[in-house]
Amino acid sequence: MRRRKPLRCFLVLALAVGLGLLASMGCARTQSPPAVQAEPQAEPSPDTVRLEVRESELEGRSVRWLYLPQVSRVFAGNRNGELLAVLWREGGTPKRPEELPAIYVLNPATGEAKKVADLGPGLRILTAAMDESWVAWVEQSETEWRILALNRSTSTTREIDWGRYLKGVGSDFPALGLDSGSLVYNILVQSAEGMTSRVILKVLPDKETRTLGQVTGDRQYLGAPSISGDHVVWHRGEWTANMAAEVYEYDLSSGQSRRLSGDDPSITPVIWGRYVVWSTYDAKSPETKNISLYDLQTGSLKYLTQAAPEDHTEFWAPTSKRRRVICLVQGLPGSR
């Protein structure tokens, strides 16, 4: 019998300047995109950029990491080790940084970044996702959003969906998940019954479109979805005093959905294979968050971190790849 390797939880305690990490909470009113914007009349973005790649180790931990000073924001990666990112324009200053109005696929092994799409005047990239064959991203203006997808084998781009931002609601959606040509995203629309939040599946290029989840009401929403194989996860959240939130999983093969989380409010799930990770909190002390792990195969649920409310420590924005869990930390364990 093959022995299973233990899961590891790596805690990213600091972010290097120049390498931004976007963690979308999914329709949260308090979220807002970074303030840095591309100049409407900026010079064209270069097709290829040579990257400065530095390797380092996190002191006291068995973690190696790459520092890419030309990178502003990293959105996603794929199984080939490629990254999807926005770069800084050369010649910017720390007081006035400027992003290139384009999105790039990075290969850290070769130190090369190749442009896959340009942005029009007044637009910015909200978020993006990729797999080995497709790149998808969200362009946004002050009032509208648009999802586009690029077929990397044919170099053709198509519009997937678009919409307008609702008055009084944040502009941190849609969020994207992409795996093996299946794109999932969340939207908010105004209906006769009130505000409606949906999670939608689009099998690229035009094989299938399906609504996986939906809630209606001005005080609830469906957060950022994540997909791995036939499994899609997201959370339902509330803009209420008790801040209720639950994590759900949808099985594409059976068409059935189920709740995964327990009694604690749970948000921002991410799935990789059979494992789902998310952040949990207590409504009385939401500034303290922990990371939970759910095994779809065994149905087991356990905490990977154990911050107490008085610690004021936030383990958040978890992600999982290849039996490893990575999360961000706000505050230090044991601090008061």
First to last CA, the chain: 46
Query: Which string of DSSP letters, residue by residue, matches 232-276?
Result: EEEEEEE-STT--EEEEEEETTTTEEEE---SS-EEEEEEETTEE
**The predicted structure's pLDDT at residue 61:** 66
**The predicted structure's pLDDT at residue 172:** 85
Paired strand residues for 276: 271, 294
Q: What's the CA gap between 124 and 127, in Å, rounded?
A: 9
- In this structure, are strands 8-12 and 324-330 parallel, antiparallel, or unpaired? parallel
Query: Which string of DSSP letters, residue by residue, matches 37-96?
Result: ---TTPPPPPSEEE---EEEE-TTSS-EEEE-TTEEEEEEE-TTS-EEEEEBPTT--SSS
Tracing tokens 């039996």 back to the chain, one arrives at 323
Q: What's the CA gap between 9 and 121, in Å, rounded?
A: 41
**The predicted structure's pLDDT at residue 42:** 57
Note down pLDDT in tens along the chain; length 336 residues.
434 444 444 434 333 333 333 333 334 333 344 444 444 455 889 999 999 988 877 676 666 677 889 999 999 999 999 999 999 998 766 677 899 999 999 998 899 999 999 998 999 999 999 999 999 999 999 999 999 999 999 999 999 999 999 887 777 899 999 999 999 999 999 878 789 999 999 999 989 999 999 999 988 999 999 999 999 999 999 988 889 999 999 999 999 999 999 999 999 999 999 999 999 998 888 889 999 999 999 999 999 998 888 888 888 888 887 777 888 888 755 444
Closest residue by Cα to residue 187 from 150, 212, 152: 212
Q: What's the CA gap between 156 and 143, in Å, rounded?
A: 26
**The predicted structure's pLDDT at residue 305:** 92
Tracing tokens 């070769």 back to the chain, one arrives at 110
**The predicted structure's pLDDT at residue 309:** 85
What the block records as the tokens of 41 is 């009349």
Q: Which CATH superfamily is domain 225-336 in?
A: Tricorn protease N-terminal domain (2.120.10.60)
DSSP letter at 311? G
**The predicted structure's pLDDT at residue 126:** 95
Q: What's the CA gap between 104 and 124, in Å, rounded?
A: 14
Cα Rg, the chain, nearest whole Å? 20
**The predicted structure's pLDDT at residue 10:** 43
Q: pTM, whole model, 2 decimals? A: 0.83
**The predicted structure's pLDDT at residue 93:** 65
**The predicted structure's pLDDT at residue 60:** 67
Stated length of the chain? 336
**The predicted structure's pLDDT at residue 63:** 65
Where do the structural domains in the chain lie, given as residue ranges?
Answer: 16-179, 225-336
**The predicted structure's pLDDT at residue 36:** 43
**The predicted structure's pLDDT at residue 58:** 66
326 touches 64 (CB < 8 A): no
Q: What's the CA gap between 9 and 153, in Å, rounded?
A: 35
Neighbouring C-beta atoms of residue 299, cutoff 10 Å: 8
173 touches 188 (CB < 8 A): yes
